[in-house]
Structures are given as C-alpha cells and as structure tokens.
Structure 1
C-alpha cells in the first residue's frame, strides 16, 4: 500500500511555473512583472564560486544585464564577485543574510536577517526566500525597500526535473513582461549551463528584450 501511495503522490505533483495573475492582483505593492516588451532574468541564492563566474562571463558575451538576489553571507565570502557583477552593469538585490523561509523566523529574527543583508548591497530590492512573508514582515520590508517576486519559475533546483523539460516549458510559457527566476546553487549548477543559453534564444526568438528589475513599473 505504501508504494502505491508514493506512486500516486508522484503523479499529482504540480509545479506552477507560471504564477496565476490573481496572485499579483492580491499583492499589488510587490513587483511581479517586467516593463513592456521586456523580460527580466533574475538569479537567486548566489554568489556561487563556480556558477557565478561562468554566468557573468556568459551574460557579458551576449550583452545582457541581469538582476541578482544574493545571500548576505555569500556576498561576504565572495566580495570580488559582487564587485564584478556591479561593475558589469548588473543589479544586485538581496535574499536575506542566510537562506531561510520567513515562515520559520520570529519577527525579530526576520528583521535581523533582512537588515544584515540589506547593508551589504547598494540596492533596495529584496526577494524573500521561497517567496514567503507574513503581513508584518512584508510591511517591514516595504518601509526599507521593494519586494520583488516573479511571474515564471524555472524549478532548476528540482533534481527530478531535467534541463530539457525546463527548456520545453520555457519555450511554451515565457511571454512579454515576465520576470524569470533561476538559481545559483549546488542543485542547479549543472543544469544552468544548459538552460540559460536556451532560454536566451527563446526570448530573442520571441523578439523580446532584456531588462533589469529596478523599480515599480
């Protein structure tokens, strides 16, 4: 019986690559979309000592700027990568000092985690880990900066999802004004080198441009 239940559970897993528009309507003070005729590439969880250098070189070669949401503790470990990203025209927001869901933190611990990473970037952009914030936490962030969400999630961190499957979803689903999320971490590092070149081709084939997440549109 246990094996049947496990099999059934696997079959009903649903990954919402595209965020329903009603969610953006419910939370209008957060950024969900790119400027018109543009797509924003965004990357969470870095900087990563292996992935980030490759990614920065690839983006530079293709004349694309991206928006990064990096963890404070990793910025402190890799300050040269932070400076390189900034010098090459990218925007670096933050993702908390350590990567932990706000749901797991008291309000006081959340504020400390937020403030520690906010001081390490020259940006007011913040993406909450897992996209989770309660009302009190969200209000605290919005007093100091801007909450950036997304309209399309790659799930590149999901080890059960192949690079080809992600690319197929992207080809069908990416559209005008999307903010796309990818990750610079151990789970995604091998897939990212396959995914990003393909995604860029998809976006350019759809005659869309690349934009930075900079302010409320």
Structure 2
C-alpha cells in the first residue's frame, strides 16, 4: 500500500521539523527533490514562472556540483535551494558520522540552512544534531511522481483529493520523474479549488 502522507507518529517523532504549515488559509507549498537535472529543472522553472510561484528545490550535492549553472538559475529565479545530501544516503542505514559528513559536503553546493532527509529517513540522533543548524523539512503530501508506474492521471487524482491547507508537497525534478506531464495542470486545478501557492517560510539557524 502506498503512503502519501507521513503518519502522526512520524510527525511527533521529529519535534520542530516541518511537515505542514499551520494556516487556516488555502495555501500550498511546492518543493522539488533530487535535482537539478538539465532535462527537467529548466522546464519546471518556466512553469513556475508562468504562474508566478516560488518553490524550494532540495538539491543533491552531487547533481549541484555537476550543474552549478542550474543552481544559479534556480536562485536567480527567486526560488530557495535546499540541502538534500550529497550522495542521497538513507539515514536509517548510514552511520551517523558518514551521514552528517555527507550533509556537510552537500552544503557547499546547496544550502546550509534548510535540509530534507533523502527518502525521509533519518535517525533521531542525526535529526537532533542537524536541527541545531538546519530547518529540517519533510512533507505533508507525496504523490510518488518518481515512480514510472504512476500515470499523470493517477497523480493528479491523488493531489486533487489529498491537498489541504498548509500542505508541503514533494515532487521530483530528477530524470525519470513524470512531473512535467502534470505540474501545469495541477497548478491550474489547485487554483480553481481556491488554493494559492506560496514559498515555504523557513529561517536559518546559523
């Protein structure tokens, strides 16, 4: 069974982490993981620009090092670059020192203030250390757009039925994601439902 939201228990396990923005307003927050990728990121940026939407791109340090011009394009377009680790380590399977070193390495190419754990998997000890410096961001809704078995119709149905006030939505700008097949339609449909897209409000701890 696919899980589209983190459970209440998971949310309570990481105090202070961002899963959803508390608001009574019909506001949504777009985030993108695993890029930047030359085959998708520039086109996502064009779609966001057409709708005057600002987002957060949680970038792989390895991809950011390979494509610094895309990092600059993201930033110059008014979006926030977040840290998604360098080698996309699973925190549950990685020793604390190796995991923290990987995040530190990625910060040189991405960000030193906002972090999303790859796979959403991070131990409590890793989290506590990183939360001293970073705003740690998970998500409220993930439609699994990285899975090629998920059609754009299915993804749109999930998004349409599960968005709610303050949802932090995670999509992917890596190669193989279907995001370009539904992003524009989703933005238009969400607007028709009365939602506005805002840039995730985060503050650094440095």
TM-score, normalised via structure 2 length? 0.91
- Partner of 1:144, secondary structure, is coil
CA distance in 2, matches of 1:99, 1:28: 23
| CA shift in 2, pair 1:107/1:27, >3 Å | closer
* Aligned pair partner of 1:208 in 190, 195, 200: 195
Indicate the residue corresponding to 1:77 in structure 2.
Answer: 66
Q: Is the 8 A contact 1:41 1:179 kept in 2?
A: yes
Aligned to 1:3: none
Aligned-partner Cα distance in 1 for 2:12–2:158:
24
Cα shift at 1:146: 1.2
In the alignment, is the contact (CA less than 8 A) between 1:44 and 1:70 conserved in 2?
yes
**Aligned counterparts of 1:140 and 1:199: Cα–Cα separation in 2:** 36
Number of matched pairs? 201
Alignment partners' CA distance in 1, 2:124 and 2:14:
11
Shift of 1:22: 4.4
Any unmatched runs of 5+ in structure 2? none
Considering only CA atoms, is the larger Rg found in Structure 1 or Structure 2?
1
Q: Secondary structure at the match of 1:73?
A: helix
Distance in 2 of aligned mates of 1:24 and 1:81: 32
Closer, same or farther: CA 35–201 of 1 in aligned 2, 3 Å: farther
How far does residue 133 in structure 1 lie from its aligned partner after superposition? 0.7
Counterpart secondary structure, 2:99: helix
Q: Indicate the residue corresponding to 1:179 in structure 2.
A: 168
Deviation at 1:57, TM superposition (A): 1.2
> Within 5 Å, which residues of 2 pair with 1:50-129?
50-129=39-118
1:120, CA displacement in angstroms?
Answer: 2.2
Q: Higher helix fraction: Structure 1 or Structure 2?
A: 1
Structure-1-length-normalised TM-score: 0.87
Specify every segment of 5 or more residues in structure 1 that has no aligned partner in the other structure, as ranges: 1-13
Confirm whether residue 28 of structure 1 aligns to residue 29 of structure 2. Answer: no
